[in-house]
Amino acid sequence: MELYDNEIAAKVAEQLLQIEAIRLQPEKPFTWASGWKSPIYCDNRLSLSYPEVRTYIKSGLIKAIQENFKDVEAIAGVATAGIPQGALLADGLNLPFIYVRSKAKGHGMENMIEGKVTKGQKVVVVEDLVSTGGSSLKAVQDLKNAGFEILGMVAIFTYGFEVAKRNFEDANVKLICLSNYSAMLPQALAKDYIDDETLASLVEWRKAPETWQGYR
């Protein structure tokens, strides 16, 4: 798990906070499907409604792909939030686009992958958000099973969990992110979304999200 560029990471974090794609509520934490209590909610789909933010993110991801995955032949989005981001990148790079469902379609052709399947094609996978990496890496495996060669993955934001880092290392998948939790915290403090005391609680969550119970 790598950050593409520190300056871009700070700018993307600032933009996501500004449009409320990232919300921080340590005093009233969100509950994830896993049962974890979380002081942060990240919905990068909101960036699609802001042309300036959308364009900045698209530009950053295109640069990350061009510099890290020069041999890319197609872009694959992960359903659902990775689909529009991936389509934007494929258009910007003038490359074919496909997307991966979370499960096979229940009727018609019953496809897991939508778009033209070309075995051996070199693909970069696009995600909007990476948490533990489970669903992202499942999409990678589905693409491999269909015969694609996976060069790596790009994402807008990651929480930077150690479990995600291990999962991507174990799967031998290179992940390049535009921004992450560590880059976001200084921006949140500088723009007065949080204070020093709240920052300490947010740092503690990042260390042990599975046991963190909220800010008191």
Specify binding-site residues for 5-phospho-alpha-D-ribose 1-diphosphate.
Answer: 101, 105, 107, 127-135
As annotated, the binding site includes 101, 105, 107, 127-135
CA distances from 117 to 96, 149, 153 (A): 10, 11, 18
Q: What is the CA radius of gyration of the chain?
A: 17
Output the known binding site for orotate.
131
Distance CA 42, CA 63 (A): 23
Three-state DSSP class for residue 142: helix
- The CA distances from residue 174 to 73, 86, 98, 154, 209, in Å, are 17, 17, 19, 8, 24
Tokens 């031998």 belong to which residue?
172
